[in-house]
Amino acid sequence: MTEPPPPRPPAGRKFPCVQCGARLDFDPRARGLVCPYCGHLEVIVSDEVSEVVERDYLDALGRADAKAKAIPGHGTETKCPGCGAVVVLDDAVAADACPFCTTHLETAPADAAGLLPPESLIPFAVDLRGAREAFGAWIASRWFAPTELKTVLALGRLVGIYLPYWTYDSATDTRYEGERGDDYQETQYYTQTLSDGRSETRSRTVTRTAWSPAAGDVSLAFDDVLVPATASLSAARLDAIGDFQLKKLTPFDAAYLSGFQAERYAIDLKAGFQTAKATMQPGIVRAIEGDIGGDHQRVHNRRTRYSAVTFKHLLLPAWVAAYRYNGKVYQVTVNGQTGLVAGERPWSVKKLAGVTLAVLVVVAAVAAAAMALNR
């Protein structure tokens, strides 16, 4: 008879190894908590009954106690004096440098209060070894990259961190006023002077557009509009590391964060919804244009009402390496789910100068050989 798994500690507590008492950390390859000393594995058993919860947007904005919480197991936070990122720390992991800009974290950790707790996350699927392999392949494909990049890899400066995101669901009703353009053909006559000086009347068919007023209402429903809540990585960088597979969202469990850091959201719930609205607008405009019909459409005015708005606060995994080169900070980011790498790299002046010199030497040698042949 199979023995039941040992009981899990309460949320917010460390995960001790039942064999040696050491702290367990989440291992992406094993999909469980692993002891770094004796190798004991505790598989995280997902509750098949539980679902990823979506919360009412207006209710969360109006409730004073909605923000009086912290992420279980990550009860302290520290603000980077360099880039301003607020990193929520694992209770047992000491951080001495900001993962986003390498600035020394001089500020003592404070209580991580006033957070809307995450409802879900995507656990790391790429472990440190996999992230370093992806990082190494990325470096190898970058010609003329400075040796500092390889030093970053060799020193293992990749930091596993969960990035904050919001998703929003909303029903929308939009009232619009505009114009509908219908094309029609018209015969146009014109006079053309021939080569012998005679004039000749000719005709051609031209397309005209007849415009008429249009007005109406369109209704659309949006699901899981994803909005980054981090200000530490640019939108371009987040786009570059590729999409996350949100179908693999898992109900939040503090065990998945064991051994990792998490960033506190810099863009709050209300500001995030403003970004979500902007993301919804192109879809609304397309729906209006389809409702107007015709060959062309002009939208002069639209007023959108948002209702039944719900949201999720979720955490998505990434490996981040920051390094300084000639006084400037560069970042390399690895998608913690897919392994896709995106980053910045400076050009090595020494390597470029070396290649230029080598090319000049080759050109000079070819020129000398050509001159010798012509003598």
Reported as a single tens digit per residue, the pLDDT across 209-218 is 999 999 999 9
Q: 355 phi and psi, to 5 degrees?
A: -65, -40
**Taken in order 122, 162, 229, 279, is the CA torsion positive or negative?**
negative
- What pLDDT is attached to residue 374? 63
- Position 155 scores a pLDDT of 52
Nearest CA among 53, 274, 252 for reference residue 164: 252
**Ranges of the chain whose pLDDT falls below 70:** 1-15, 45-50, 64-70, 72-73, 90-96, 106-108, 142-156, 345-375
Instruction: Write the burial class of residue 1 (CB in 10 Å: 0-12 exposed, 13-18 middle, 19+ buried).
Output: exposed
pTM over 0.75, yes/no:
yes
Quick one: residue 97, left, alpha or beta (phi over 0 = left, psi -120 to 50 = alpha)? beta
Picking from 83, 71, 2, the residue whose alpha carbon sits closest to that of residue 330 is 83
Residue matched to tokens 């390498």: 102
Can you tell me the distance from the alpha carbon of 262 to that of 161, in angstroms, rounded to the nearest whole number? 5
Residue whose pair of structure tokens reads 């109406």 in the numeric block: 216
Question: Residue 23's pLDDT is what?
Answer: 73
SS3 for 369?
helix
The alpha helices in the chain, defined as continuous H runs, are 57-62, 128-140, 147-154, 235-240, 269-292, 349-374
Q: Which pLDDT score is estimated for 315?
A: 95
d(CA 56, CA 155): 45
- pLDDT at res. 218: 97
pLDDT for res 309? 96
How confident is the model at residue 143, as a pLDDT? 58
- The pLDDT of residue 158 is 86
